[in-house]
A and B are shown apart, each in its own frame.
Chain A
Amino acid sequence: MATTTQEISIGDLPARAAAASSEGELKGDNMAINVGPSHPTTHGVLRLLMELDGDTITKCRPVIGYLHRGDEKIAENMTYNQFVPYTDRLDYLAPLANNVAYAMTVEKVAGLQVPERCEAIRVLCCELARISSHLLGVGVYGMDAGAWTVFMYTFTEREKLYTLFEELTGARFTTSYTRIGGVARDIPEGWLGRVNDFCNGVLPVLDQVEKLLTRNRIFLDRTEGIGVISRETALAYGLTGPNLRASGVDFDLRKDRPYLGYDRYDFDVPVGTTGDCYDRYLVRGEEIRQSVRIVRQIIETFPDGPVCAEEAKQIVAPQKSKVLSSMEELIQNFMITTEGPRIPAGEVYFEAENPKGALGFFLVSKGGGVPYRLKIRGPSFCSLSLLEELVPGHHMTDITCILGSLDFVMGECDR
């Protein structure tokens, strides 16, 4: 390729620096407040620069990037499978869902169809990840609004879920469960039964949590009419997931662009009426119930068969027992590990409905085992970009409620 050079003009640096530093300067008798980057209500390393007039916020500027690790660039330097552990660390409250979304993107470029059992396991993973993420979201939100015990109850349930993840994947948090063309291992003996037990146990706890919060006047006073996101704003800022649906937009990728056979399952998509903090809480609570519904349907119709698309010998590593006993499979194992799964040239953008919203991957492949470019669209990034518009006009104490209700995660925002 021919290279072209271009002059870049930097301009008058001192003047630009002076303009940038005076940007945050206070006028009149307003007060500046800095929240974060390490603060309990920011749920991660988010920094907020705010200007207050009395107790009313007049300006809010989110500063992000403290958790930037350059995941997109890292992806270009490793094979497709090697990147799976990095997807755990995007939305680290739902790593299983990220694993699935990433593997599906690569499979779309390759035009690979995974077996039914693999699909069922993946849907199960996504829904359990959603339950786990929302349990934390609702619990921490209660805590932010002053209802501390709610957090203890939901966290106990999430702990049970982590034990199930541990049995399935070998790790509680960093699951790294999917591979291109399948999943790392089949489900363990009796695991589905334990998932069912968990489902039976989580609903009463959810009832209990809702009894504590939904009709609680203190909670209502703190959340109703606070942080109202109108339908138009939500769409304009590209919100997705529960935050978008709370604003009354009926859009769920599982329903509107079904993937992984989501169209086979019966579930409701909850939408809010006003788009305030309370609606976002209601929507998340209901989504847990709906996920439990989906999980039950999967357990009922759990298909048999392989968990990997074994016929795709250029992409899926052979079974271990064969690697140990046959030369051909041994070589195949070496090829796939060192060169990566052979993915044809092409590009794909794929979004999956993750607990926090639509997690998108844009993948460009020039053929071979390494991505040419991988762009990640994190839903939390969009939710946070809204703060500048959403927060002014609220009181300082509302900040905790607004941040909690948006349920973002910095790993995915900063990537």
Chain B
Amino acid sequence: MATTKVMERKPLTMAEKTFIPQIASGLKTTFGNMLKKPVTLEYPDERPVIPNNYRGVPTLVKDPNGREKCVSCQLCEFVCPPKAIRITPGSIDADAEPDRAHVEKAPQEFDINMLRCIYCGYCQEVCPEEAIFLQDIFSVSGYSRDEMVNNKEKLYALGGTLPDAHLKWDKKKAAEERGNEAH
């Protein structure tokens, strides 16, 4: 239940009108704070602690076997509110990577324009392959516009490998093989 509270005010006393008690208590506060531990951080020598699930620079990750996870479904490209992502879909070369051929698709090019990205995390949220993650890099800089566009190579270099509990494509392959045996 909410109630109303009227903010009454009392006139200043004679003593308060002379400024003296205010100055005294003000200085007490100031000196008290001077003796406290500083709250600021000597950035960039000291780095802030980045919590889990922080939304930093979006990156592409590989699965624990070092394989590309993105299947270039382009869902992240679609959802990205400022249209920062550009993907050119490509196919997987079955001869070069026979154990991954059944995945069929992979991005040929994958660019994220960091001048457009607003770090909203929607790409990570919608990705059906857990291939794109916003990790803990929070400051980016570059000398030109081109430098601020992260291409596929750079995205994988930034992303590295993250643990994968699902290994969806391995399971699919195993199921396929089992299926073949049954026939």
Contact of A217 with B120 in the complex, beta carbons under 8 Å: no
Q: Does B139 contact A (CB under 8 A)?
A: no
Contact of A176 with B16 in the complex, beta carbons under 8 Å: no
Contact of B4 with A176 in the complex, beta carbons under 8 Å: no
Contact of A176 with B128 in the complex, beta carbons under 8 Å: no
Contact of B81 with A337 in the complex, beta carbons under 8 Å: no
B17 nearest CB across to chain A (Å): 6
- The chain A residue sitting closest to B134, CB to CB, is A170
Q: Size of chain B's interface in residues, with CB distance under 8 A?
A: 42
- What residues of chain B lie closer than 8 Å to A255, measured between beta carbons? 2
Contact of B2 with A262 in the complex, beta carbons under 8 Å: yes
Contact of B128 with A330 in the complex, beta carbons under 8 Å: yes
**Assembled-state Cα–Cα distance A307/B8 (Å):** 41
Out of A81, A171, A218, name the residue touching B119 (CB < 8 Å). Answer: A171
- What residues of chain A lie closer than 8 Å to B120, measured between beta carbons? 84-85, 174, 176
* Chain A CB within 10 A, most for which of B2, B3, B168: B2
Contact of B4 with A324 in the complex, beta carbons under 8 Å: no
Contact of B81 with A252 in the complex, beta carbons under 8 Å: no
Q: Does B25 contact A (CB under 8 A)?
A: yes
Contact of B25 with A211 in the complex, beta carbons under 8 Å: yes
A156 nearest CB across to chain B (Å): 5
Q: Does A272 contact B (CB under 8 A)?
A: yes
Q: From residue 71 to 109 of chain A, which have CB atoms closer than 8 A to chain B?
A: 78, 81-86
Contact of A263 with B7 in the complex, beta carbons under 8 Å: no
Please classify the interface of chain A as helix (H, G, I), strand (E, B), loop, or mixed, using the class held by over half of its residues. helix
Contact of B126 with A337 in the complex, beta carbons under 8 Å: yes
Q: Size of chain A's interface in residues, with CB distance under 8 A?
A: 60
Contact of B4 with A269 in the complex, beta carbons under 8 Å: yes
Q: With contacts A156-B39, A267-B2, A269-B3 known, is A337 near B79, CB below 8 A? A: yes
Contact of A217 with B2 in the complex, beta carbons under 8 Å: no
- What residues of chain A lie closer than 8 Å to B75, measured between beta carbons? 333-334, 337-338
- What residues of chain B lie closer than 8 Å to A64, measured between beta carbons? none
Contact of B128 with A323 in the complex, beta carbons under 8 Å: yes
What 0/1 readout, one digit per residue, does chain B (109-132) give for beta carbons within 8 Å of chain A?
A: 000000000111110011011100
Among A15-23, A112-120, A276-284, A379-387, the one that faces the other chain is: A276-284
Out of B5, B51, B54, name the residue touching A271 (CB < 8 Å). Answer: B5
B31 nearest CB across to chain A (Å): 11
- What residues of chain A lie closer than 8 Å to B141, measured between beta carbons? none
- What residues of chain A lie closer than 8 Å to B134, measured between beta carbons? 170
* Chain B CB within 10 A, most for which of A156, A166, A170, A337: A170
Q: Does A232 contact B (CB under 8 A)?
A: no
- What residues of chain B lie closer than 8 Å to A156, measured between beta carbons? 39
- What residues of chain A lie closer than 8 Å to B128, measured between beta carbons? 323-324, 330, 333-334
Give me 29 A-to-B residue pairs in the complex whose CB atoms sit less than 8 angstroms apart, sorted by A's number: A82-B79, A85-B122, A149-B30, A163-B51, A169-B55, A176-B120, A176-B121, A176-B122, A184-B121, A188-B52, A211-B29, A212-B25, A215-B22, A216-B26, A217-B17, A218-B19, A255-B2, A266-B2, A266-B3, A273-B6, A279-B7, A282-B9, A320-B125, A320-B130, A324-B130, A325-B168, A337-B75, A337-B79, A338-B75
